[in-house]
């Protein structure tokens, strides 16, 4: 059956580069949300813990519970728990959230510095902290998210200025309310590599750890390596004669005799139909015709075919981004670790 291979050495290479920028592995908070960007939550968590990463970021409590044994601190981005977990901090995304958190819950306040999706405004920060404390919540940190750190524009600079104001205000609020100095973090992968000197409590690193960070050419280009590779196994081989077509709609027509094979991977497994007839594997095998639900045809005959080992390259053929390719890989697919 088709399966995903995870390259441990590539992952550790990426973490080495990230740790050099954060100044310490202790400041890496690995983003493991959405099945670790499709790589597999448990295998990536285990490898991260093996490397020494002790902080993680996930989407919900279910993910947090599954990886709790590997980490000392977990940040949940998008769920309000019924019963909070001991190691977990939960995100306050709006003022309306406050009344829904159980008393005693550890929280971090997300601040909107320009992304304008969710988060508290700087002007409302003190009021939100006051309400959080009245609700019996433990406010432990403040963070934000960059919208354009991978693009050379002024937005990177004014969001940094906005968050600097947030830090100053939050420190003053903490002092007046008498609670410990809070955690601060703003860097996603792109923002981390834009920073000349990293001076925050942690960096929330996702796409860089998985080796598929893309930055404008004028920006830093770290030597990251993709962790994920997709392999498929052959179902059948035949020779198309000149003029014969293959697959639904017959959108590929052989110009001359060509040996083709059908492999056991399709859009039900996460292949993107928009890559039909437009992609060539790392080994030079052209994808012929339409991707089907459960299989795809390539100009190849090997028993095991490397479909892609760089999600960004495959994504370009499909007209999307590497993130969508990776998170689209179905959880039921077997993950194996390459040392």
Residues 146 and 287 in one domain: no
pLDDT at position 199 is 94
73 catalytically annotated? no
248 catalytically annotated? yes
Write out the two tokens for 241. 């004669």
What's the CATH number where 243 sits?
Answer: 2.40.37.10
Is residue 112 a part of any domain in this protein? yes
Residues 253 and 169 in one domain: no
pLDDT at position 52 is 98
Is residue 169 a part of any domain in this protein? yes
Residues 144 and 255 in one domain: no
Rg (CA), the chain: 23
**Last residue of one domain, picked from the residues 145, 170, 205:** 205
Is residue 292 a part of any domain in this protein? yes
pTM of the model: 0.96
What's the CATH number where 89 sits?
Answer: 3.20.20.10
Please identify which of the residues 33, 37, 252, 263 carries the catalytic annotation.
Answer: 33
Residues 25 and 56 in one domain: yes
Is residue 214 a part of any domain in this protein? no
Residues 200 and 244 in one domain: no
Is residue 1 a part of any domain in this protein? no
Mean pLDDT of 201-206: 98
248: containing domain: 228-309
Is residue 327 a part of any domain in this protein? no
Residues 201 and 153 in one domain: yes
Residues 124 and 272 in one domain: no
Number of domains making up the chain:
2
Residues 29 and 167 in one domain: yes
Residue-wise pLDDT tens digits, 3-21: 999 999 999 999 999 999 9
Residues 96 and 239 in one domain: no
Residues 235 and 186 in one domain: no
Q: Are 240 and 258 in contact (CB under 8 A)?
A: yes
**339: pLDDT strictly greater than 90:** no
Please identify which of the residues 195, 225, 248, 279 carries the catalytic annotation.
Answer: 248
Residue-wise pLDDT tens digits, 69-83: 999 999 999 999 999
Residues 72 and 194 in one domain: yes
Mean pLDDT of 35-50: 98
Residues 61 and 181 in one domain: yes
SS (H, E, C) the chain: CCEEEEEHHHHHHHHHHHHHHHCCHHHEEEECHHHHHCCCHHHHHHHHHHHCCCEEEECCHHHHHHHHHHCCEEEECCCCCCCCCCCEEEEECCHHHHHHCCCCCEEEEEECCCCCCCCECHHHHHHHHHHHHHCCCEEEEEECCCCCCCCCCCHHHHHHHHHHHHHHHHHHHHHHHCCCCCEEECCCHHHHHHCCCCCCCCEEECCCCCCCCCCCCCCCCCCCCCCEEEEEEEEEEEEECCCCEECHHHCEECCCCEEEEEECCCCCCCCCHHHCCCCECCCCCEEECCCCCCCEEECCCCCEEEEECCHHHHHHHHCCCHHHHHHCCCCCCEEEEEC
Is residue 280 a part of any domain in this protein? yes
């Amino acid at each position: 059956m088709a399966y995903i291979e995870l390259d441990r050495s590539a992952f550790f290479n990426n973490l080495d580069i990230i740790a050099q920028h954060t100044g310490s592995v202790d400041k890496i908070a690995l983003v493991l949300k959405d099945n670790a960007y499709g790589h597999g939550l448990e295998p990536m968590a285990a490898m991260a813990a093996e490397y020494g990463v002790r902080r993680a970021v996930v989407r919900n409590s279910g993910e947090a519970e599954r990886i709790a044994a590997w980490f000392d601190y977990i940040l949940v981005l998008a769920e309000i728990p019924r019963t909070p977990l001991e190691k977990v901090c939960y995100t306050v995304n709006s003022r309306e959230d406050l009344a829904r958190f159980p008393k005693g819950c550890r929280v971090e306040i997300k601040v909107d510095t320009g992304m304008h999706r969710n988060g508290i405004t700087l002007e409302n920060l003190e009021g939100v902290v006051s309400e959080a404390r009245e609700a019996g919540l433990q406010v432990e940190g403040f963070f934000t998210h960059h919208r354009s750190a991978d693009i050379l524009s002024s937005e990177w600079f004014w969001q940094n200025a906005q968050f600097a104001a947030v830090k100053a205000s939050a420190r003053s609020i903490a002092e007046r309310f008498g609670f410990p100095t809070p955690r601060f973090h703003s860097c996603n992968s792109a923002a981390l590599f834009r920073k000349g000197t990293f001076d925050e409590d942690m960096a929330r690193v996702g796409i860089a750890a998985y080796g598929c960070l893309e930055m404008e050419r004028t920006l830093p280009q770290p030597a990251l390596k993709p962790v994920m590779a997709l392999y498929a196994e052959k179902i059948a081989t035949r020779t198309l004669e000149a003029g014969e077509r293959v697959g639904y709609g017959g959108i590929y027509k052989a110009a001359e005799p060509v040996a083709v094979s059908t492999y056991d991977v399709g859009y039900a497994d996460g292949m993107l139909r928009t890559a039909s007839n437009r992609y060539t594997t790392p080994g030079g095998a052209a994808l012929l015709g339409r991707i089907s639900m459960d299989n795809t045809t390539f100009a190849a005959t090997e028993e095991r075919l490397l479909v892609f080992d760089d999600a960004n390259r495959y994504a370009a053929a499909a007209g999307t981004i590497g993130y969508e390719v990776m998170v689209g890989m179905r959880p039921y697919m077997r993950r194996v670790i390459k040392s």
